[in-house]
A and B are shown apart, each in its own frame.
Chain A
Amino acid sequence: MADKKEIQEPIYVCRCEEVTLEEIDEWIEKGYDTVEELKRVLRVGMGPCQGRGCQDILLREIARKTGKPITEIHPATVRPPVKPIKISLLAEGGEE
């Protein structure tokens, strides 16, 4: 893919949280080379789509930067809900 020096304009990997490829590469270089760590420092994959658009790119980028096969890169833990739910809907179901 693109060399670091070429990345002048931002390339958005996570559109929900506006995380760029440059930021991801920078943090991978600092040693944050797992999806879970990158989530914690950048919020990548934590927006409304919950990583549906970006996790695949993220896995491949980690594999490329670390030289590990993609089969060894762990995806993020998946927690419910998989889609945003209005808090009022959840509150309706609560007990007094």
Chain B
Amino acid sequence: MKRLETEILVIGGGAAGLSAAAEAAAAGAKVMILESDLHLGGQLVKQTHKFFGSKDEYAGTRGFKIADILLKEMESCKENIEIHTNTTVTGYYSEDDTFTAMRDEDEFFTIKADRAIVATGAQERLIPFVNNDLPGVYGAGAVQTIMNVYGVVPGKRVLMVGAGNIGLIVSYQLMQAGVEVAAIVEAAPKVGGYWVHAAKVRRMGVPILLRHSIKRALGDEIITGAMITELNERFEPVGEEKKIDCDVICIAVGLTPTTEILSQAGCEMMYVPELCGNVARRDSSMQTSNPKFFTAGDASGIEEASAAMVEGRVAGLSALKSLGYPTEHGRLEEYWGRLQALRSGEAGKRICQGLTCVLTEDWEAVHNG
């Protein structure tokens, strides 16, 4: 069986992974990026809107252009970077300290790496309702992919479930693509996403129904509508069900970190609601309890792409440091400062609360008791 080797294995070529790879490769380390998709860029490539955040993280630039900027940065140190797209890391075997990976579905090989940065991103949350297995029920991320990457619209009229940033942004993008958005239902008593996004879809005439949820999808073979219902403060359905005509139901109820490899590596894991799922405990350098493993981006807790990119830089830098590469004095501190700035807003409060649960001072101190 083919066996590859590298110094730093970056699992996931999205916002965090590419930033980590760029950081590490620029300092001279051999980096290998494994990306399960056909191309690099992760979620960035389907973000057609301009980013918020700070100038350092390309605020004002559209997401897919940010992916180009990162790829260009990697160009300057490409001799140090080996890229495998359409390749999934399928496992880590701690007894042999070996990763296994599969390219497409017809090549299987092993990888030895001195360090691993797990930047595997997130997966979409689904919710249970009657007929949720009918064709026409999509995750919002899937809708963004087919629309913004492949230029295909999912249908004619959409019911959006969830008024967080993803639900709001995807609603707007659907309308830009000529698809009607019948309504946005949100179980919480307030809009989760930024006000500007909500205001934009409201101005275009889309009702945002707070304290509402989907009860069932209608249709035999495909979606022909949806029944929605109002919720009380205990999130229990109250009152009459209302019918919404639609041929697509788009689920945007959040993401949860993808962390299989970290679990297999024996990293201490913790369920942190504020970070939206099971994540690895880490120190401020993004090092996990397994000193060879670092985590960054949504895999370490659901947050915005801007923060994912800085976390990637931190993880890349720390992996370098732990391999004995000289690193620029003060650089890590600069990244910490940027993260702090990104998290200083209202939305950042929740993230910071979650981080206090998973952050440990320093692993050596923990292990030496």
With contact pairs A11-B132, A73-B271 given, residues A56 and B256 touching in the complex (Cβ less than 8 Å) = yes
Which of B130, B131, B133, B277 has most A Cβ within 10 Å?
Answer: B130
Q: How near does chain A come to B88, taking the closest CB pair, in angstroms?
A: 6
Which chain A residues lie closer than 8 Å to B123 at the CB level?
Answer: 52-53
Give residues 2-27 of A contacting B (CB, 8 Å).
2, 9-13, 15, 21
Which chain A residues lie closer than 8 Å to B92 at the CB level?
Answer: 80
Q: Is A93's beta carbon under 8 Å from chain B?
A: yes
B102 & A85 in contact (Cβ 8 Å cutoff): yes
B105 & A86 in contact (Cβ 8 Å cutoff): yes
Q: Is B278's beta carbon under 8 Å from chain A?
A: yes
A53 & B100 in contact (Cβ 8 Å cutoff): no
Q: Is B1's beta carbon under 8 Å from chain A?
A: yes
A12 & B106 in contact (Cβ 8 Å cutoff): no
Query: Within the assembled complex, what's the spacing in Å between the Cα atoms of A81 and B109?
Result: 13
Which chain A residues lie closer than 8 Å to B263 at the CB level?
Answer: 77-78
B90 & A82 in contact (Cβ 8 Å cutoff): yes
Query: Within the assembled complex, what's the spacing in Å between the Cα atoms of A55 and B255?
Result: 13
With contact pairs A73-B271, A93-B1 given, residues A79 and B108 touching in the complex (Cβ less than 8 Å) = no
A79 & B277 in contact (Cβ 8 Å cutoff): no
Give residues 91-129 of B contacting A (CB, 8 Å).
91-93, 100, 102, 105-108, 123, 125-129
Q: How near does chain B come to A79, taking the closest CB pair, in angstroms?
A: 7
With beta carbons under 8 angstroms apart, the residue of A9, A15, A57 that contacts B127 is A57
With contact pairs A78-B263, A80-B92, A92-B108 given, residues A56 and B277 touching in the complex (Cβ less than 8 Å) = yes
Query: Within the assembled complex, what's the spacing in Å between the Cα atoms of A71 and B358?
Result: 12
Nearest A residue to B123 via CB reads: A52
B91 & A70 in contact (Cβ 8 Å cutoff): no
Query: Within the assembled complex, what's the spacing in Å between the Cα atoms of A67 and B135?
Result: 34
Nearest B residue to A12 via CB reads: B133
Which of A2, A11, A12, A82 has most B Cβ within 10 Å?
Answer: A82
B1 & A82 in contact (Cβ 8 Å cutoff): no
Main secondary structure of the interface of A (DSSP, over half): loop
B102 & A78 in contact (Cβ 8 Å cutoff): no
Please count how many residues in chain A sit with their CB below 8 Å of the partner chain's CB atoms: 33
A83 & B102 in contact (Cβ 8 Å cutoff): yes
Q: How near does chain B come to A22, taking the closest CB pair, in angstroms?
A: 10
Q: Is A75's beta carbon under 8 Å from chain B?
A: yes
Which chain B residues lie closer than 8 Å to A82 at the CB level?
Answer: 88-91, 260-261
Q: Is A89's beta carbon under 8 Å from chain B?
A: yes
Which chain A residues lie closer than 8 Å to B202 at the CB level?
Answer: none
B125 & A80 in contact (Cβ 8 Å cutoff): no
Which chain A residues lie closer than 8 Å to B271 at the CB level?
Answer: 59, 70-71, 73, 75
Query: Within the assembled complex, what's the spacing in Å between the Cα atoms of A89 and B258?
Result: 25
Q: Is B193's beta carbon under 8 Å from chain A?
A: no
With beta carbons under 8 angstroms apart, the residue of A57, A73, A75 that contacts B128 is A57
Query: Within the assembled complex, what's the spacing in Å between the Cα atoms of A73 and B271?
Result: 8
A9 & B90 in contact (Cβ 8 Å cutoff): no
B91 & A80 in contact (Cβ 8 Å cutoff): yes
B108 & A90 in contact (Cβ 8 Å cutoff): yes
Nearest A residue to B215 via CB reads: A2
With beta carbons under 8 angstroms apart, the residue of A54, A75, A78, A89 that contacts B106 is A89
Instruction: Report B's interface with A, CB cutoff 8 A.
Output: 1, 88-93, 100, 102, 105-108, 123, 125-133, 216, 235-237, 256, 258, 260-261, 263-264, 269-273, 277-278
Known: A2-B237, A54-B126. 13 other contacts (CB 8 A): A1-B235, A1-B236, A11-B132, A15-B133, A52-B123, A59-B271, A70-B273, A73-B271, A77-B263, A82-B90, A89-B107, A90-B108, A93-B1
Give me 16 A-to-B residue pairs in the complex whose CB atoms sit less than 8 angstroms apart, sorted by A's number: A1-B128, A2-B237, A10-B130, A59-B271, A75-B269, A75-B278, A80-B90, A80-B91, A80-B93, A80-B100, A81-B100, A82-B89, A85-B102, A86-B105, A86-B106, A92-B108
